[in-house]
Amino acid sequence: MDRTGYRMETVAVHSGEPRPAPEGSVVFPIYQGTVYSIEPGTDYHDIRYIRLNSTPSQRYLHDRLAALEEAEAAVATSSGMAAITSTLLAFLKKGDHLLAGSCLYGGTHDFLTQHAPDLGLGCTFIDDQRPETWKAALRPETKLFLVETITNPLMRVPRLQEVVEFARRERLTTVIDNTFASPVNFRPLSIGFDISFHSATKYLNGHSDLVAGCVLGSRERVERVRRTLNLMGGSLDPHAGFLLARGSKTLALRVRAQNANALALARFLAAHPKVKEVNYPGLETHADHAHARRLLSGFGGMLSLRLKAGTEAARRLIAALRIPYFAPSLGGVETLITQPALSSHAGMKREERERLGVTDDLLRVSCGIESPDDLVEDFGQALEKV
């Protein structure tokens, strides 16, 4: 389906759908076959084979994902970490250097600090709120600039437009993790980012029942990532791809409900006398609210908070809540609460975590699509017991 002129809700439902569909099916089928017949002389990377990310099910999913973010092309991966590592290894070689925002998802941070040096890759973490400091971090071998749209778990919004402008001047490839925002709230390629990637486990799927990732960008850049991915073996199983395609059809509806729930809960918590701080860019008091408002069409379903009484009080709050599950991950239809120091950022050294503000008493909430009134009431009754 030609996506030109359609709004997000329509694109989410119909993008990538061939018409007429196979056998007239409204739902694109699962092609579970491993290998397909080929014509003599076919290039290795064009052989239809699951590991090469080129089967009918995979190509259908890629077209859907590309449409959601208005990209020329996309490739699905077996996880969000497969997406970021394949991208970095596609665009960096031994001896190269990258700039990265200082507060990244723990898995990304661990790869850059614990594994990238063994591959001969250098990384400098920069303050993504201070563009005036970036030039000093450059080296002759700097090739890439990596940031997140909304950082995990403090919900900061980097100076994204300035990242694009700086990278253009310095001829750097720009890569952004758009997981927390989703294509509903932000489309990075539209402001000039070269590559966007997601942990599709989260909002793109939205039902906490698969692990996947994806990379989006121009055809040339995505093909470069796909060929690296092909050699690393991080392809997505066709059945998981089917579930991801199905989940993505309700993306716009889910994310807008999650935006609204997070804003309602953030406002309630920010006004509560037992709450020390709330991190949510939709709050007017948030440090990045002004430029986030210019960049984003919604502020996401994620927030974090600290209580005045500290870590033990945070644990009592978790125990008293009735609706949220105490569980890691995010982006599903159910509300989740976790302590990042024990989950997403557990691999970081304590001093590194605390320097970034990821302290033991920090709680992160992924808002689902429940009634916002019920969520507020549940946090209210739990806070009474703290």
Q: Are 256 and 206 in contact (CB under 8 A)?
A: no
Return d(Cα 153, Cα 363) in angstroms, integer: 9
What's residue 4's pLDDT?
63
| Predicted model pTM | 0.95
What's residue 189's pLDDT?
98
How many Cβ atoms are within 10 Å of 209's Cβ, its own excluded? 12
Tokens 């750097």, residue?
172
Q: At what angle do helices 80-91 and 219-232 cross, to 10 degrees?
A: 110
Return d(Cα 44, Cα 47) in angstroms, integer: 6
Question: Per residue of the chain (386 residues), what is the pLDDT tens digit?
Answer: 555 679 999 999 998 888 888 888 888 999 999 889 988 888 888 899 999 999 999 999 999 999 999 999 999 999 999 999 999 999 999 999 999 998 889 899 999 999 999 999 999 999 999 999 999 999 999 999 999 999 988 999 999 999 999 999 999 999 999 999 999 999 999 999 999 999 999 999 999 999 999 999 999 999 999 999 999 999 999 999 999 999 999 999 999 999 999 999 999 999 999 999 999 999 999 999 999 999 999 999 999 999 999 999 999 999 999 999 999 899 999 999 999 877 666 666 777 776 777 788 999 999 999 999 999 999 999 999 99
How many Cβ atoms are within 10 Å of 352's Cβ, its own excluded? 16
Tokens 């990379």, residue?
215
CA angle 53, 219, 100 (to 5 degrees): 90
Q: Are 247 and 206 in contact (CB under 8 A)?
A: yes
> Active-site residue 203, yes or no?
no
- Among residues 51, 227, 267, 316, which one is catalytic? 51
Return d(Cα 370, Cα 264) in angstroms, integer: 12
What's residue 263's pLDDT?
98
30 phi/psi in degrees, rounded to 5: -90, 125
Q: Half-sphere exposure of 166 toward its Cβ, with a 13 Å CA cutoff?
A: 24
- Among residues 63, 96, 128, 177, which one is catalytic? 177
- Among residues 48, 64, 156, 202, which one is catalytic? 202
What's residue 40's pLDDT?
86
What's residue 350's pLDDT?
75
> Does CATH place domain 252-384 in 3.90.1150.10?
yes
> Does CATH place domain 8-248 in 3.40.640.10?
yes
> Active-site residue 202, yes or no?
yes
Q: Which amino acid is at 379?
A: F
- Among residues 105, 128, 159, 203, which one is catalytic? 105
Nearest-CA neighbor of 87 among 197, 246, 209, 167? 197
Taking the domains of the chain in order of start, what are their residue ranges? 8-248, 252-384
Residues composing the chain: 386
Nearest-CA neighbor of 202 among 277, 105, 268? 105
Q: In the numeric block, which tokens belong to residue 302?
A: 């994620």
Residue 53, Ramachandran bin (φ over 0: left; ψ between -120 and 50: alpha; else beta): left
Start-to-end CA span in the chain (Å): 53
Return d(Cα 93, Cα 88) in angstroms, integer: 9
Nearest-CA neighbor of 144 among 171, 106, 114? 171
Strand, coil or helix: 13: helix
